[in-house]
């Protein structure tokens, strides 16, 4: 149980992104470690693969439409892998030669089904890895849109690439919350609500689509404002509760989590030292 009488008071953040909203609602204690104290986390293999796949698809769409072929995407994947060879997110995985070869194969496999999902020569993209932010009261909402494009009628379409598994139908709406957030940003920044938002699950070849409405966009501001109020309250009192779930199995901060007998006050020094040692250690 957190002692709110002696707990430290944290600076209140002034911006929120979809991943931060999701992090706070999943576990406030983890949010404290990652978003308030900004502690480094060891890179995860799935996250690093996802980043590299996003980069390869970005490189594909930098090409003229007629040159977006499977061979070009394979080249772009090879280029993205090469770009990341010295990046801390790859170096920190500590892969040996066999591990690196498997990592590369897995990244290529993640784009195997891409051309079954869409024909990139017909996509009219107007923005790639597009940074957007908008004010809601004193709060800045921000996010990066993987791809913004125009459909045949000239309407906006937001596309988000996913490298994890597609959700079951029960969790589809939850997984769309992030892209509704992006449709809110489009409306706020560009003055137009997208006609469609799409999640492309590259590993399985599935695409989930939804049509944003005035209500879905309004829901984002209502929900985000409520989450921000809760974040503000937690920062003021220092009371970030741990919320145990299956996510604890992958949590980088478990050893400092009070739910597992840890001391959160030690995380700041120990997490930084562990991360520096991981990156600096010889392969
Ligand atoms: S171990 Fe679980 S409860 Fe603790 S911070 Fe991580 S996700 Fe939250």
Residue 7 scores a pLDDT above 60: no
> Is residue 27 lining ligand 1, measured as CB closer than 6 Å?
yes
> Is residue 2 lining ligand 1, measured as CB closer than 6 Å?
no
> Is residue 255 lining ligand 1, measured as CB closer than 6 Å?
no
Q: How far is the CA of 95 from the centre of ligand 1 (A)?
A: 26
Q: What is the mean pLDDT of residues 218-240?
A: 90
Residue 69 vs residue 272, higher pLDDT:
69
The predicted structure's pLDDT at residue 4: 46
The predicted structure's pLDDT at residue 264: 92
The predicted structure's pLDDT at residue 13: 86
> Whole-model pTM?
0.85
Nearest Cα residue to 158 out of 217, 211, 198, 190 = 198
Q: What is the mean pLDDT of residues 185-189?
A: 91
For 113-171, write each residue's pLDDT tens digit. 999 999 999 999 999 999 999 988 888 989 999 999 999 999 999 999 999 877 766 66
> Is residue 39 lining ligand 1, measured as CB closer than 6 Å?
no
Instruction: Ligand 1 pocket test: pick from 252, 259, 264 the residue with the most ligand atoms within 8 Å of its Cβ.
Output: 259
> Is residue 242 lining ligand 1, measured as CB closer than 6 Å?
yes
Q: How far is the CA of 272 from the centre of ligand 1 (A)?
A: 18
Residue 22 scores a pLDDT above 60: yes
């Amino acid at each position: 149980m957190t002692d709110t009488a002696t707990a430290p008071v944290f600076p209140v953040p002034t911006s929120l992104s979809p991943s931060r909203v999701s992090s706070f609602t999943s576990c406030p204690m983890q949010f404290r470690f990652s978003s308030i104290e900004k502690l480094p986390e060891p890179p995860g293999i799935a996250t690093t693969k996802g980043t590299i796949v996003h980069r390869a698809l970005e490189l594909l769409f930098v090409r003229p439409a007629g040159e977006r072929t499977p061979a070009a995407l394979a080249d772009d994947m090879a280029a993205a892998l090469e770009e990341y060879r010295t990046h801390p997110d790859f170096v920190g995985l500590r892969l040996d030669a066999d591990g690196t070869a498997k990592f590369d194969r897995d990244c290529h496999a993640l784009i195997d089904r891409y051309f079954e999902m869409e024909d990139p020569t017909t996509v009219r993209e107007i923005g790639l890895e597009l940074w957007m932010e908008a004010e809601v009261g004193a709060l800045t909402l921000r996010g990066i849109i993987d791809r913004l494009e125009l459909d045949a009628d000239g309407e906006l379409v937001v596309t988000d690439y996913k490298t994890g598994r597609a959700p079951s139908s029960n969790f589809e709406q939850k997984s769309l919350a992030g892209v509704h957030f992006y449709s809110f940003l489009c409306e706020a920044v560009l003055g137009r609500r997208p006609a469609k938002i799409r999640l492309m699950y590259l590993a399985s070849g599935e695409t989930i689509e939804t049509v944003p409405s005035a209500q879905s966009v309004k829901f984002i501001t209502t929900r985000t404002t409520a989450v921000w109020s809760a974040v503000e309250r937690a920062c003021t009192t220092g009371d970030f509760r741990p919320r145990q779930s299956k996510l604890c199995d992958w949590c980088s901060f478990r050893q400092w989590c009070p739910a597992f007998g840890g001391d959160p006050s030690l995380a700041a020094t120990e997490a930084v030292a562990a991360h520096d040692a991981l990156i600096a250690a010889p392969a």
